[in-house]
Structure 1
Amino acid sequence: MSYLLLLTLFLNLTFYPESPKAAEIQIRINQIGYLPEDSKVAVIFSKETVRENFLLVHVETGETVLDIKPVKLKKDAWGGFLYWEVDFSPISEAGQYVVKGKKSGVSSSPFLISNNAYAGYQEQLLEFMRQQRCGYNPALDMVCHQKDGRSFFGPMPDSTFVDLSGGWHDAGDQLKYLITSSYATAHMLMAYEMYPDRFEDKVNALGQPGANGIPDILDEAKWGLDWIHKMHPAPDQLFHQVADDRDHRGFKIPNKDNADYGWGENSYRVGYFATGKPQGLSKYQSEATGVANLAGRSAAAMALAARIWERDLNDPVFAAKCKRAAISLYQLGREKEGFQQGNSYGAPYRYNEETWADDMEWGAAELYKLTKEDRYLEQAKSYALQSNTADSWTVRDSAAHYQLYPFINMGHYSLHEVVDEDFKKTLEGYYKDGIDYTLKRAQKNPFHIGVPFIWCSNNLLTSLATQVILYEKMSGDKQFEPFLASQRDWLFGKNPWGSSMFTGIPDGGEFPVEVHTAPYVLLGMDVPGGLVDGPVYTSIYNNLLGLTLLKPDKFAAFQNEHVVYHDDVGDYSTNEPTMDGTAGAILMMVHFSR
């Protein structure tokens, strides 16, 4: 995360935003639309009592399909508004529609009902991932950070050069973390395994236009795999981070990096070796008890890759390389159980991961599928019992930044396939406990949203949606379909601000534009598919350092005492797209595609 990028460029700027007046009646819908079988519910809100019905109108024909009496919601009155729901779930006929006030004429934006409503959007998320590439960046057509990096805390002398080039920039900044990259890589590989026929082939391995016979999601995953191999240069060695918050020197194009780690600007950057012990090169020290969080999920990514490259891509050489890495990474996790956090230098912010059994469960489950060795199955089951519901944010009302990461335990789904019926029920129960708890939270707010609005709430939301999807596949239980639809719909505009949370999606809709990234600020680039951090509790926003809105807040009328969101470069807490957040939304997005 780039916490203080703004200070250098905008320190002397002061803006006093004016609040626009809210229209008398607001309609919030999913701007993309709905699958025919979906729960389809619009939220209506106003400062005054709404005394009219709402029409569902077919755009092409002008026909009124439904005349609906809104249902008053007895929920928390966010922002002092009164809330109603308009349910048009019975309509499944394909077409473009609007929801329209019968007397006032106030109308939603057009949206689709179609089996193809979500077709292809996963490819836009991959487009954003390519923008985040370090090394050769196809979006910018340039090469950066070839001198990554100089080692610290490793078995080699400090400042020894090690080749840690490649990977992805984490967010609007240019740090690289195994914490997030290992999850992004493994998530993409699992999404491909579940939906192998839903991904396109439009770019080559470098991300340049032109098919190469490999689905683009596997090209992107391999970019992560190649970097993980570099971060694991020997069976007993693992690096976990390149660069630190010395990076935060204002917006910059990656091949003109003005950060100085002791070797001059645009030169070598520090590479942190994973020791399993607290680290820090300045006043701030991370916490650490082991390396199993990093090793376990990196092993999962490698085991998944070994199967895919052998089975689907006919590349036994790369498959064998990944298999060896999966085995050695997992063993490293066994030897150093515990967690390694991210490192900071001049600021207190870091990735605070404190869980690891979930990652070892995932790694062991994937290794069992790869090798058929019983020890991996027994160890996966043991780690699953350690990584129960209590380790999930879904049963808590708050957590530190990335404390309970990844935000979904993918190991439960991976393991479910290969265990007996009793253990299947145990794993299903872990997912269901979290869904039930978030459902209770959702029942208190007018948008039926189940996540706490801590930093990166959108990452929690896509993970919750993914958890419901995986639970349904494991159990066959479809009772949470309306809840799933509500979480998805929030991300595409059924929220107080009427905004999608993905850049450029949908085309012509309301979506983040003034995003906290250098390509936008310095080059005016609009790259679609990036999931922004998302709304935060107003109390969190009011206490973060370095926040300065640079333009009048176009959503001022809809901010409230609970949560805030700003489409403004100056708000790194809500409007910065992240690499792992975007990758972590791919499975959800492809699930809804057809």
Structure 2
Amino acid sequence: MIRTFVSLMLLLWVTAAFCQEEMYLRVNLLGYLPEDVKVALAFGKSPVRERVQLFRVAEDEPVVELRPGKVKTATWGTFDHYYELDFSEINTPGEYYLKTKKTGQQSAIFKIGRDAYGNHQETLLEFMRQQRCGYNPTLDMVCHSKDGRSHYGPLSDSTYVDLTGGWHDAGDQLKYLITGSYATAHMLKTFELYPEKFADNYNALGQPGSNGIPDVLDEAKWGLDWIHKLHPAPELLFHQIADDRDHRGFKIPNRDISDYGWGENSYRAGYVATGEPQGLGKYKSEATGVANLAGRSAAAMAIAARIWEEHLNDPAYAIKCKRAAISLYKLGRENEGYQQGNSYGAPYRYNEETWTDDMEWGAAELYKLTGETEYLEQAKAYALESANEDAWTVRDSAAHYQLYPFINMGHFALHEHVDDDFKKNLEGYYREGIEYTLQRAKRNPFHIGIPFIWCSNNLLTSLVAQVILFEKMTGDKSYAPFLAAQRDWLFGRNPWGTSMFTRLPEHAEHPVEVHTSVYVMLGLEVPGGLIDGPIYRTIHDNLLGLTLHKPDKFAHLQNNHVVYHDDVGDYSTNEPTMDGTAGAILMMAHFGMDAE
């Protein structure tokens, strides 16, 4: 009898220990600022029946013992039990980790301190330099020097126009004004907001060595110079170079085997924005105008005109940008509507269908630049028309890039120029989107407010930026816990326990086998790239040509709701994007340290 009882107790102990091995601790792998809300997450298939201790690495002694708080929401996938671990009261600088008191399960090491986010706004610029087309400083090579041959528009078909420069869009080597204009404007706006955060360690070509210009402005100018080329005449605006004929497998940029009718590694198609449907192959885009492209390109140029005049003392370039801003905005006024991206042999394209947000942004920046009241009145009219009609934040789903950009920067740009009543309108648009996503977040244990459509991480960094800008507009910091949860997801407080940025942080789980040629063919792990991110299983499983190359290291964490793979074969979740990375720079500058 005693032997039977002992055997039974041993079996129960082994079973309990086995169950506890399935508990996972999730923290922000990068770390927390002293004043941050700091809430880790524990989850597993069985209840957690032990305390969790927070250790400071320097002393290797627990500084606080945490009682897991049961999360009272719907569960996530295959795990039934979720608990929050709140250590917001701890603000002493140092390195820390969490450890279960009985079973000794341990989290990754993370920082608390003013330097938790370091100067990682600069790290994101490393990835941006890797995406450069023309001269690429990361690879030290010149690529696509024959871009491009025009299609559509007033020029004779296949007329050569110098369209070199810009950035490769993602793991592929297409170039879009849709994304390039936003990336350029976002970096410039971020510099205006946080000029003290950016260093000067690289020259204009992206090579090591200072040139007296903050590197974020060198990178933005790479985009500005390309936009100048895309707008060579008042009535002419190119919007895309190359198409999905690019997708010939992984390839080094200066040995591009794609053929657009002039042989491999030669001229590529350059599409003129006409405001009408386009497509040289089977699939046609939709289009009603060009104001989306013209409006935010005008915003970029207007911001640049101010910066090059006021910060860089370069009046000649400032005047050039001012003229381009006025011309681009006028083109948008004359051709209101949207221009989408073009595909050739596949149905996937950038489906942007909004434009009033871009014209609002362009008009607001032009008013700040010129003081001409006509721009202010037009910006206000566009703001009222735009409201939240162009916002994914008040919807449960959207097509790929349908509601792009993923934040209406026009509302923020206009805010400082209007009366108190109109300010409240603009603040209300941001608040409505934050509240809608907050309500969605309350339904899941990770407290995440986005729909997991393709490029979900872009949505998430944009939501983070919206909360930050809302705080700047209103002084209201009541959404700080929500902001922290969205940010922390990007750095490991997610089901897979991974950062969503390449090599950031170096010491912990981050994307490695990303869908890029430089990794597959050269083994380069370039830091700072924001990957597309998790996606609904229903979308993922219906995408064409998606095949994992290796066994899924996250298989034990996957579910039938949302999926993520660190695998070069999964272009839907593990491909870093240029505009996504650029769109995260505001977030990183906000939390990061001043430049040394």
Q: TM-score, length-normalised on structure 1?
A: 0.96
Q: Residues of 1 paired with 2:368 and 2:39: CA distance?
A: 41
Partner of 1:47: 45
CA contact (8 A) 1:78 1:561 kept: no
Partner of 2:403: 404
Partner of 2:314: 315
Q: Residues of 2 paired with 1:514 and 1:471: CA distance?
A: 36
CA contact (8 A) 1:389 1:430 kept: yes
Partner amino acid, structure 1, of 2:454: W
Deviation at 1:282, TM superposition (A): 1.3
Partner of 1:276: 275
Q: Deviations for 1:264-307, whole angstroms, at most 9, x for unmatched residues?
A: 00000000000001111112110000000000000000000000
Q: Residues of 2 paired with 1:187 and 1:440: CA distance?
A: 28
Partner of 1:503: 502
Q: Deviations for 1:62-115, whole angstroms, at most 9, x for unmatched residues?
A: 221111110111222223211111100111111111111011110111111101
Indicate yes or no: 2:324 matched with 1:335. Answer: no
Q: Deviations for 1:372-427, whole angstroms, at most 9, x for unmatched residues?
A: 00000000000000111132000100000000000000010000011111111100
Matches for 1:569-584 after TM superposition, within 5 Å? 569-584=568-583
Q: Residues of 2 paired with 1:213 and 1:331: CA distance?
A: 34
- Secondary structure of the residue aligned to 2:269 is strand
Partner of 2:7: none
Partner of 1:200: 199
Percent of residue pairs bearing the same amino acid type: 73
Deviation at 1:24, TM superposition (A): 2.0
CA contact (8 A) 1:145 1:267 kept: yes
CA 1:22 to 1:456, structure 2 compared with 1: closer, same or farther past 3 Å? Answer: farther
Cα RMSD between the aligned structures? 0.9
Partner of 1:469: 468
Q: Residues of 2 paired with 1:459 and 1:76: CA distance?
A: 25
Partner of 1:354: 353
Deviation at 1:247, TM superposition (A): 0.3
Partner of 2:10: none
Q: Residues of 1 paired with 2:389 and 2:320: CA distance?
A: 36
- Secondary structure of the residue aligned to 2:220 is helix
CA 1:23 to 1:163, structure 2 compared with 1: closer, same or farther past 3 Å? Answer: farther
Indicate yes or no: 2:451 matched with 1:456. Answer: no
Q: Deviations for 1:334-366, whole angstroms, at most 9, x for unmatched residues?
A: 000000000000000000000000000000000
Partner amino acid, structure 1, of 2:66: I
Q: Residues of 1 paired with 2:557 and 2:445: CA distance?
A: 14
- Secondary structure of the residue aligned to 1:391 is coil
- Secondary structure of the residue aligned to 1:519 is helix
Indicate yes or no: 2:503 matched with 1:539. Answer: no
Partner of 1:100: 99
- Secondary structure of the residue aligned to 2:197 is coil
Partner amino acid, structure 2, of 1:476: G
Partner amino acid, structure 2, of 1:170: D
Q: Residues of 2 paired with 1:109 and 1:60: CA distance?
A: 15
Indicate yes or no: 2:168 matched with 1:169. Answer: yes
Indicate yes or no: 2:80 matched with 1:78. Answer: no
Deviation at 1:577, TM superposition (A): 0.1
Q: Deviations for 1:446-497, whole angstroms, at most 9, x for unmatched residues?
A: 1000000000000000000000000000011101000000000000000000
Deviation at 1:585, TM superposition (A): 0.2
Q: Residues of 1 paired with 2:366 and 2:540: CA distance?
A: 42
Greater shift after overlay, 368-377 or 79-88?
79-88
Q: Deviations for 1:111-136, whole angstroms, at most 9, x for unmatched residues?
A: 11101111210111000000000000
CA contact (8 A) 2:194 2:589 kept: yes
Partner of 1:568: 567
- Secondary structure of the residue aligned to 1:390 is coil
Q: Residues of 2 paired with 1:413 and 1:446: CA distance?
A: 31
Indicate yes or no: 2:242 matched with 1:243. Answer: yes
Q: Residues of 1 paired with 2:519 and 2:551: CA distance?
A: 18
Aligned residues: 574
Q: Residues of 1 paired with 2:229 and 2:56: CA distance?
A: 55
Q: Residues of 2 paired with 1:539 and 1:272: CA distance?
A: 33
Partner of 1:300: 299
Matches for 1:61-460 after TM superposition, within 5 Å? 61-81=59-79, 82-460=81-459
Q: Residues of 1 paired with 2:180 and 2:51: CA distance?
A: 49
Partner amino acid, structure 2, of 1:47: K
CA contact (8 A) 2:20 2:103 kept: no
Q: Deviations for 1:179-214, whole angstroms, at most 9, x for unmatched residues?
A: 000000000000000000100111000000001110
Partner of 1:27: 25
Q: Residues of 2 paired with 1:389 and 1:102: CA distance?
A: 48
CA contact (8 A) 1:22 1:558 kept: no
CA contact (8 A) 1:22 1:557 kept: no
Partner of 1:16: none
Q: Residues of 2 paired with 1:390 and 1:93: CA distance?
A: 44
Q: Deviations for 1:489-509, whole angstroms, at most 9, x for unmatched residues?
A: 000000000000000000111
CA 1:513 to 1:22, structure 2 compared with 1: closer, same or farther past 3 Å? Answer: farther
Q: Residues of 1 paired with 2:174 and 2:140: CA distance?
A: 19
CA contact (8 A) 1:149 1:161 kept: yes
Q: Residues of 2 paired with 1:291 and 1:436: CA distance?
A: 32
Partner amino acid, structure 2, of 1:509: A
Deviation at 1:25, TM superposition (A): 1.3
Matches for 1:525-536 after TM superposition, within 5 Å? 525-536=524-535
Q: Residues of 2 paired with 1:420 and 1:100: CA distance?
A: 53
Partner of 1:3: none
Q: Residues of 2 paired with 1:23 and 1:276: CA distance?
A: 58
CA 1:61 to 1:399, structure 2 compared with 1: closer, same or farther past 3 Å? Answer: same
Q: Residues of 2 paired with 1:60 and 1:454: CA distance?
A: 42
- Secondary structure of the residue aligned to 1:79 is coil
CA contact (8 A) 2:20 2:48 kept: no
CA contact (8 A) 1:167 1:176 kept: yes
Q: Residues of 1 paired with 2:77 and 2:550: CA distance?
A: 21
Partner amino acid, structure 1, of 2:229: K
Where does structure 2 lack aligned partners over 5 or more consecutive residues?
Answer: 1-18
Q: Residues of 1 paired with 2:575 and 2:390: CA distance?
A: 27
Deviation at 1:152, TM superposition (A): 0.5
Q: Residues of 2 paired with 1:59 and 1:311: CA distance?
A: 46
Greater RCO (CA < 8 Å, at least 6 residues apart): 1
Q: Deviations for 1:503-529, whole angstroms, at most 9, x for unmatched residues?
A: 000011100000000000000001000
Deviation at 1:22, TM superposition (A): 9.8
CA contact (8 A) 1:189 1:304 kept: yes
Q: Residues of 1 paired with 2:342 and 2:389: CA distance?
A: 26
Partner amino acid, structure 2, of 1:45: F
Q: Residues of 2 paired with 1:132 and 1:413: CA distance?
A: 28
Partner of 2:3: none
- Secondary structure of the residue aligned to 1:84 is strand
Partner amino acid, structure 2, of 1:38: D
Q: Residues of 1 paired with 2:367 and 2:20: CA distance?
A: 56
- Secondary structure of the residue aligned to 2:389 is helix
Q: Residues of 2 paired with 1:392 and 1:22: CA distance?
A: 42
Q: Residues of 2 paired with 1:519 and 1:363: CA distance?
A: 35
